[in-house]
């Protein structure tokens, strides 16, 4: 069963495992960057002003119900094959968790802290950037990492419309009735998901203030 | 939209299949997650095993799990079971945490009071702990249901039924309308199921709405 | 069980900056904050503050006190424009606050709130440096200033690197005060700052505030719902009544002796006769007392006060007749100390002492004698005859 995965022939060339891994990682990271650029400002703005919260929640739920396969196919039918449809489908998938995490994170900042920030003379932009967002980071990361897991897993589907990534092994294996190849694809996706999550966990540790770690764990860093 | 009205019967047919393929895993997964979640809420050791395991299950792409399932359990490639089992697995993975969190959040003094009045464990669980855990549990169930309804479509990529068939057929015949029909069907189904669960939750937990 | 020596220290701080000294010291009156016919009506129609006229004098602690919903906090928050009034004018240093942009206004006014409101993601030092940095100080200067303040509010330098979650409630509140003082603002607004800490810590913080005020001479507006806190800290106390009315604005003694209406009378409390004693300073005869030192062999016939080498009280000895060696474990502790501050202190010392004799100490904490409850009552009777006490 592991034979396919460990065959050196599958580890080289433009259709080899390293290339597919990088493609998959590329889809994932660019998707997350685009989604974060859209979702974090939206979630932060609504969380900060407290206005339109129901829009965020409603929009998140509606987007969550959207089948990624359908979005991918629709955009391919409209715009043709390529990476663009993949990004549209994956970004729409990644926006809800990041937006919901950001919104919830900002709303969860202790109102006393926010009151103090205004009371010491911070302008609204500073209240948001220097106090609310740094304190919301744990929940923002929560949403972001959830999105990352989903994107890594779902980017597999990109191969259905001929795009690259690890999904190629799953769909090619399916077409060839090559079970070893399919399994290798699935295992590699799961592995990549775990690695990506570990990477973001590390980033989280570096960027979130030690003051926000659960009490008791602050001492041993 | 015109496709739906011109192919009304076919639309109902795939709707029925889609509904079956998404509701059965939700029910099965929910039933399985109650004892597991209860176990996780009671034992830190169980949490240490169950939670990371659930996280890893999530990272397996649904298409891969659907493809691998028949090999693992020996069913035919076009058996509906091949979608029902993976979706059940995802539901359990998601619901364990909801159920465990919900049960852990039941106030300790309420549990102590119930014990002091002489409730036996099973009866206490059914009449005190579980009802109090319902709001959080139902919130988790809503997420699981919506994501299941959206994920069933993936089964079509290997030839299984549901709205996903409209996607693959639409793709192969360059029929945007057909794909849109399936997409609308999925979203409407998800919104309806979500609303229904919300309503059931409100009816079952009238105490959660009073005050505040 | 805390010994006498520790209590002397706490008490010593209290006298040092206590209300008595400061009231006397108030010289030329300058109005730093002025409310002119200020009304706040919220969107739901409730009137939080109703036609408030009030002036806060420079260099004083002014306390706004009242039950919840009386408008005291709203009044305070209108000073730094956390809330804007519906009508009326608020002047800070003669300037209408509505003409100043809120962030600029707030940077010039210290603000301390309940539960401190520290930024959990910033170290203690960075929390304190917030306002200097907002006002454009360079980082180094702001840090140095923050370290100074840490010391001023009585925290060790190594607290600077900690995060708020690693501090106790009382320590957090000290940091909150330090943060408010960082840019050296002339005015300090304090909104129920000590309500969330336990009574023992609260008393510490109150004493500390009085000590700081004696050094810094700020204009402080302090909001509380606790009348005892108000009477202890306030040089002027504004009693607010439900519906946003100012019921009375006076010195603590006046509130106790001449409450403006039934509301003030009941809010100030039933035992206001006893509270009045706090502000009376009559002569009470001091009697000699038998003392003994630890380790000595003495012959005991009655209650004997055991003292240390500096003649500070350690506890009482009794229950035995004849010769004994004075040892720590035979001591009966308890009883507050009378430092000559007020009749209330004298009475409390006598009533709380196991021997019924109140221990009198000097500024250094050394025993000078004892007072008896009967003498205090007589002193009270004299004061009453002289018209110093309300009937």
Q: B152-203: per-residue pLDDT in tens?
A: 998 888 888 899 999 999 999 999 999 999 999 999 999 999 999 999 998 9
Which chain A residues are Cβ-neighbours of B151 within 8 angstroms? 67
Q: In chain B, where are the structural domains located? A: 2-204
Q: In chain A, where are the structural domains located? A: 14-210
Residue where the block lists tokens 């980017």: A155
Mean pLDDT along residues A64-90? 92
- Please, do chains A and B touch (3+ CB pairs < 8 Å)? yes
Instruction: Compute the mean pLDDT over every residue in chain A, rounded to the nearest whole number.
Output: 89
Chain A interface, best mutation among B55, B61, B165, by max A CB count within 10 A: B61
Q: What is the pLDDT of residue C27?
A: 44
d(C-alpha A28, C-alpha A90), whole Å:
8
- Please, do chains B and C touch (3+ CB pairs < 8 Å)? no
Q: Would you call A167 and B182 a contact, using CB atoms and an 8 Å cutoff? A: no
Q: Does B167 touch chain A (CB under 8 A)?
A: yes
Give the ipTM of the model, two decimals please: 0.85
Which chain A residues are Cβ-neighbours of C114 within 8 angstroms? 112
What confidence tens digit (pLDDT) does each residue in A28-64 have? Answer: 999 999 999 999 999 999 999 988 888 887 888 788 8
d(C-alpha C308, C-alpha C5), whole Å:
9
What confidence tens digit (pLDDT) does each residue in A3-16 have? Answer: 788 888 888 888 88
Helix (H) or strand (E) holding A46: helix A17-49
Tokens of C154: 């009585």
C79: closest CA of chain A, how far (Å): 11
With a cut of 90, say whether residue B207 has pLDDT above it.
Answer: no
> Residues with Cβ < 8 Å from C299, sequence gap 6 or more?
C322, C323
With a cut of 90, say whether residue B68 has pLDDT above it.
Answer: no
Q: Does B64 touch chain A (CB under 8 A)?
A: yes
| DSSP letters for B102-170 | HHHTS-HHHHHHHHHTT--HHHHIIIIIHHHHHHHHHHHHHHHHHHHHHHGGGGGGGT--SHHHHHHHH
Q: Does B61 touch chain A (CB under 8 A)?
A: yes
Q: Does C105 touch chain A (CB under 8 A)?
A: yes
Cβ proximity of B91 and B25 under 8 Å? yes
Q: What is the pLDDT of residue B210?
A: 66
Residue C90 pairs in a beta bridge with: C35
With bands split at pLDDT 50, 70 and 90, how would you rate the model's confidence at A94? very high
- When CB atoms are compared, the residue of C106, C120, C135 closest to A119 is C106
- When CB atoms are compared, the residue of B61, B158, B186 closest to A156 is B61
On the CB side of C29, CA atoms within 13 Å amount to: 9
Which chain A residues are Cβ-neighbours of C82 within 8 angstroms? 115, 118-119
Q: What is the pLDDT of residue A215?
A: 54
Residue C33 pairs in a beta bridge with: C56, C92
Q: Would you call A218 and C80 a contact, using CB atoms and an 8 Å cutoff? A: no
Residue where the block lists tokens 């960057």: A33
Residue where the block lists tokens 């465990």: B100
Q: Which residue of B has its CA nearest to A68?
A: B150
Burial of C260 (0-12, 13-18, 19+ CB in 10 A): middle
| DSSP letters for A148-186 | HHHHHHHGGGGGGGT--STHHHHHHHHHHT-HHHHHHHH
CATH code of the region A14-210: 1.10.3720.10
Q: Which residue of C has its CA nearest to A133?
A: C121
d(C-alpha C381, C-alpha A116), whole Å:
50
Number of separate helices (H) and strands (E) present in chain A: 10, 0
CA distances from B29 to A6, B182, C176 (A): 35, 25, 50
Q: Does C117 touch chain A (CB under 8 A)?
A: yes
What confidence tens digit (pLDDT) does each residue in B82-126 have? Answer: 999 999 999 999 999 899 989 988 888 888 888 888 888 888 998
Which chain B residues are Cβ-neighbours of A73 within 8 angstroms? 167-168, 170-171, 179
CA distances from B100 to A146, B94, B132 (A): 19, 11, 12
Q: Would you call A126 and C80 a contact, using CB atoms and an 8 Å cutoff? A: no
d(C-alpha B119, C-alpha C24), whole Å:
68
* φ/ψ of residue B144, rounded to 5: -60, -45
Q: Would you call B64 and A193 a contact, using CB atoms and an 8 Å cutoff? A: no
Residue C95 pairs in a beta bridge with: C92
On the CB side of A49, CA atoms within 13 Å amount to: 11
Low-confidence stretches of chain C (pLDDT < 70) are 1-28, 270-273, 319-321, 334, 387-391
> Residues with Cβ < 8 Å from A91, sequence gap 6 or more?
A31, A34, A35, A38
The DSSP 8-state label assigned to residue A131 in this structure reads: I
Beta strands in chain C (DSSP E): 31-41, 47-57, 61-65, 87-92, 95-96, 109-113, 187-191, 219-224, 236-241, 245-250, 291-293, 297-300, 304-307, 313-317, 322-325, 337-338, 357-361, 367-372
Q: Does C147 touch chain A (CB under 8 A)?
A: no
Which chain C residues are Cβ-neighbours of A111 within 8 angstroms? none
Q: Does B154 touch chain A (CB under 8 A)?
A: yes
Q: What is the pLDDT of residue C257?
A: 83
- When CB atoms are compared, the residue of B59, B164, B176 closest to A69 is B164
Q: What is the pLDDT of residue C373?
A: 82
Q: What percent of chain A has pLDDT over 90?
A: 67
- When CB atoms are compared, the residue of C117, C120, C131 closest to A115 is C117
Burial of C215 (0-12, 13-18, 19+ CB in 10 A): exposed
d(C-alpha A196, C-alpha A190), whole Å:
10
Q: Would you call A170 and B186 a contact, using CB atoms and an 8 Å cutoff? A: no
Q: Would you call A193 and B191 a contact, using CB atoms and an 8 Å cutoff? A: no
Q: Would you call A209 and C163 a contact, using CB atoms and an 8 Å cutoff? A: yes
Q: What is the pLDDT of residue A74?
A: 94
Domains of chain C, each with CATH number or no CATH: 18-278 (3.40.50.300), 282-385 (3.10.580.10)
Mean pLDDT along residues A53-78? 88
Q: Which residue of A has its CA nearest to C109?
A: A120
Tokens of B156: 């079509």
CATH code of the region B2-204: 1.10.3720.10
Instruction: Compute the mean pLDDT over every residue in chain B, rounded to the nearest whole number.
Output: 89
């Amino acid at each position: 069963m592991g034979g396919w995965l460990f065959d050196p022939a599958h580890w080289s060339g433009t259709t080899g495992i390293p290339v597919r891994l990088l493609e998959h990682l590329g889809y994932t990271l660019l998707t997350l960057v685009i989604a974060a650029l859209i979702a974090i400002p939206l979630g932060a703005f609504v969380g900060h002003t407290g206005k339109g919260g129901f829009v965020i929640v409603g929009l998140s739920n509606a987007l969550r119900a959207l089948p990624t396969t359908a979005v991918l196919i629709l955009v391919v039918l409209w715009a043709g094959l390529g990476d663009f449809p993949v990004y549209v489908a994956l970004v729409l998938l990644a926006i809800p968790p990041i937006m919901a995490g950001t919104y919830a994170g900002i709303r969860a900042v202790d109102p006393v802290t926010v009151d103090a920030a205004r009371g010491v003379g911070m302008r609204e932009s500073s209240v948001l950037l220097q106090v609310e967002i740094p304190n919301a980071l744990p929940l923002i990361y929560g949403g972001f990492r959830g999105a990352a897991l989903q994107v890594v897993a779902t980017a597999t589907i990109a191969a259905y419309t001929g795009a690259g990534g690890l999904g190629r092994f799953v769909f090619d294996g399916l077409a060839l009735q090559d079970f070893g190849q399919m399994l290798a694809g699935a295992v590699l996706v799961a592995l990549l998901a775990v690695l990506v999550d570990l990477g973001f966990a590390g980033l989280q540790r570096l960027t979130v203030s030690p003051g926000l770690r659960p009490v008791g764990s602050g001492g041993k860093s | 939209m015109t496709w739906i009205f011109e192919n009304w019967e076919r639309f109902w047919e795939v709707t029925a299949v889609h509904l079956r393929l998404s509701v059965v895993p939700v029910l099965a997964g929910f039933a399985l997650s109650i004892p597991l979640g209860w176990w996780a809420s009671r034992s830190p050791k169980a949490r240490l095993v169950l939670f990371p395991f659930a996280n890893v299950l999530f990272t397996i792409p649904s298409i891969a799990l659907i493809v691998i399932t028949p090999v693992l359990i020996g069913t035919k490639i076009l058996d509906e079971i091949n979608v029902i089992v993976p979706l059940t697995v995802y539901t359990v993975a998601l619901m364990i945490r909801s159920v465990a969190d919900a049960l852990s959040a039941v106030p300790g003094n309420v549990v102590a009071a119930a014990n002091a009045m002489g409730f036996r464990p099973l009866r206490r669980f059914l009449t005190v702990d579980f009802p109090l855990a319902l709001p959080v549990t139902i919130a988790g169930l809503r997420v699981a249901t919506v994501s299941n309804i959206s994920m069933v479509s993936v089964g079509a990529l290997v030839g299984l039924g549901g709205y996903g068939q409209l996607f693959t057929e639409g793709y192969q015949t360059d029929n945007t309308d057909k794909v849109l029909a399936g997409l609308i069907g999925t979203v409407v189904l998800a919104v309806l199921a979500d609303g229904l669960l919300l309503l059931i939750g409100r009816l079952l937990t009238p105490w959660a709405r009073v005050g505040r | 069980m805390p010994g006498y020596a520790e209590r002397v220290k706490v008490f010593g701080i209290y006298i040092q900056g206590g209300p008595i000294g400061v009231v006397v010291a108030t010289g030329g009156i300058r109005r730093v904050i002025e409310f002119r016919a200020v009304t706040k009506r919220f969107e739901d129609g409730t009137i939080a503050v109703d036609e408030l006229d009030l002036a806060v004098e420079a260099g004083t602690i002014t306390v706004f006190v009242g039950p919840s919903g009386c408008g005291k906090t709203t009044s305070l928050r209108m000073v730094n424009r956390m809330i804007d009034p519906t009508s009326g004018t608020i002047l800070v240093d003669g300037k209408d606050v509505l003409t100043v942009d809120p962030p600029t206004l707030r940077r010039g006014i210290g603000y301390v709130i309940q539960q401190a409101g520290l930024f959990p993601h910033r170290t203690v030092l960075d929390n304190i440096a917030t306002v200097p940095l907002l006002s454009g100080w360079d980082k180094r200067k702001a840090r140095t200033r923050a370290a100074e303040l840490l010391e001023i509010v009585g925290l060790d330098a190594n607290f600077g690197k900690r995060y708020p979650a690693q501090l106790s409630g009382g320590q957090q509140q000290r940091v909150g005060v330090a943060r408010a003082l960082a840019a050296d603002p002339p005015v300090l607004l304090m909104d129920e700052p000590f309500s969330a800490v336990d009574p023992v810590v609260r008393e510490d913080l109150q004493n500390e505030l009085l000590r700081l005020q004696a050094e810094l001479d700020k204009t402080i507006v302090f909001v509380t719902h606790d009348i005892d806190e108000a009477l202890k800290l306030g040089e002027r106390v504004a009693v607010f009544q439900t519906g946003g009315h100012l019921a009375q604005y006076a010195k603590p003694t006046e509130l106790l002796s001449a409450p403006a209406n039934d509301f003030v009378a009941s809010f100030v409390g039933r035992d206001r006769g006893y509270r009045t004693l706090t502000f009376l300073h009559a002569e009470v005869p001091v009697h000699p007392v038998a003392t003994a030192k630890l380790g000595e062999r003495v012959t005991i016939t009655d209650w004997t006060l055991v003292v240390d080498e500096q003649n500070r009280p350690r506890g009482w000895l009794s229950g035995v007749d004849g010769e004994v060696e004075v040892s720590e474990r035979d001591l009966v502790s308890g009883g507050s100390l009378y430092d000559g501050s007020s009749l209330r202190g004298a009475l409390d010392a006598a009533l709380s002492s196991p021997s019924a004799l109140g221990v009198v100490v000097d500024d250094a904490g050394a025993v000078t004698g004892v007072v008896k409850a009967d003498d205090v009552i007589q002193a009270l009777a004299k004061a009453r005859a002289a018209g110093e006490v309300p009937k």
